[in-house]
Amino acid sequence: MTETNAKVAVTSPVGGSGWKFWLGIGVSAFFLFLMFRSIDGAGLLAALREMDGRFLAPAVASTLLSYYLRAWRWKLLLETEKDASMRNLFHATTIGYMANNLLPARIGELVRVYVLGEREGIDKGTVFASLVLDRLFDGFSVLCILLLTLFTLRLPGDDGGVRTALVTGGYLTVAAYLVVLGFLVLLKRRTAATLRLAGKILKPLPARVSEKVVPLLDSFIGGIRLSSRPGNLAGLAISSVLIWLFAVWPIDLALRSFDVVLPLTASLFIMVLLVVAVMLPASPGYIGTYHYACFKALTFYGVSGEQAMAVALVIHALNFFPITFLGLYYLARDRMSLSGLGGGKSDHPPSPSRSGTEPRLDAGGKEAKGTDKT
């Protein structure tokens, strides 16, 4: 049996990746310019004044419930490792999403790993692996939403161009999803061979890259564990459906608050575009890209520019302010700080022991020497 020590660090994203930060700022500014260049300020304010605030409370409640359900799904994904408390899981989830909204480089996932690993004493490699599985469930859910949208979408006028774009995006998303899923399956079932292949693929790159990536993959795959218990699998499926149901409903409520009555497929269509938008480089909080996706989706339905912009501002606010304030509250309550998340480093405990016939590999795909035998 071998046991190795690994490190996980939440480092200052701006210090090492300043160009990414400024690229995001530039992209956000570009999309904001595209929107506001044709918007009448007085008309936008008039549209915002017409909003019916009674729809906001259930929209906020639905949004926060979707995050709580994310914490529940995360608990199920970690079931084979530890029965983590919902309190710590929800705190880590809210703090992580808050970090994505306020800090550059989208370090929210690393923040979630750090916070839960510290609170529950779980190996951070295992926590990170559970979040990869979490994203795979999200990817499958988005694919289902995309398919449902393709079969039910009805836009005023000729929607051939939009439908073609959705189909193309769908194919690309499916391809990327299958590539990642296939790689993870190979990495889990044929760890040694896959790591050797990864070492060969990375050979043209600087040696320091392969020296970091291959051991990281080896440590990461050891943390991927998924319960085969029927109740657990059913819970994962149910939680995934509910997460996205309560994420889409606030969009419909926001539309109704402006007396924009559209079929549910319109909210699904907006959600698909929002998912694409948050994948683009942008400033913290997805400012600009998020707004433009919502704005563009509504103009396809014939909503005026000012009203579409007002709806986009409200939908973004619903997804930004509640989780950000709640994350800051839990951050203070847990005696942590934003500066600590953005610039702190933490060594996590030794990786879980692994047994079996396959040895640990170095960057060249050969058996690593110097491991501690126990």
Q: Decide if 369 is inside a domain.
A: no
- What's the structural domain count of the chain? 1
Structural domain that includes position 236: 55-189+223-341
pLDDT score of 11:
39
Q: pLDDT of 53-84, one tens digit each?
A: 999 999 999 999 999 999 999 999 999 889 99
Average pLDDT, the chain: 83
Task: Give the Cα separation of 193 and 183 in Å (integer).
Answer: 12
Model pTM above 0.85: no
In a domain? residue 354:
no
Number of C-beta neighbours around residue 90 at 10 A: 20
Which of 343, 322, 355, 148 shows the shortest CA–CA distance to 250? 322
In a domain, 317, yes or no: yes
Residue 29 lies in a domain: no
User: Per the structure block, which two tokens stand in for 199?
Assistant: 């070492």
| Residue 355: count of CB within 10 angstroms of its CB | 7
Mean pLDDT of 197-226: 77
**Of 246, 251, 255, the residue nearest 274 (C-alpha):** 251
* Cα 316 from Cα 156, distance rounded (Å): 25
- The residue type of 119 is R
pLDDT the model gives residue 17: 57
Please compute the mean of the pLDDT values over residues 175-202 and round it to a whole number. Answer: 82
Q: Is residue 23 part of a domain?
A: no
Top pLDDT among 72 and 184 is at 72
Task: Count the alpha carbons within 13 Å of 125 in the hemisphere toward its beta carbon.
Answer: 21
CA-based Rg of the chain, rounded to a whole angstrom? 22
Q: Region 306-320: what's the mean pLDDT?
A: 97
User: Does residue 101 register a pLDDT over 60?
Assistant: yes
Q: What is the mean pLDDT of residues 6-33?
A: 69
Looking at the domain assignment, is residue 287 inside a domain? yes
216 lies in a domain?
no
Distance CA 257, CA 259 (A): 5
Cβ neighbors of 61 (< 8 A, separation 6 or more) are none
Please determine, for residue 5, whether its predicted confidence score (pLDDT) is greater than 50.
no
Q: At what angle do helices 124-152 and 56-77 cross, to 10 degrees?
A: 130
Any idea how long the chain is?
Answer: 374
Domain membership of residue 275 (yes or no) is yes
pLDDT value of position 343: 53
Extract the tokens encoding 11: 């480092």
Place of tokens 């304010």: 45
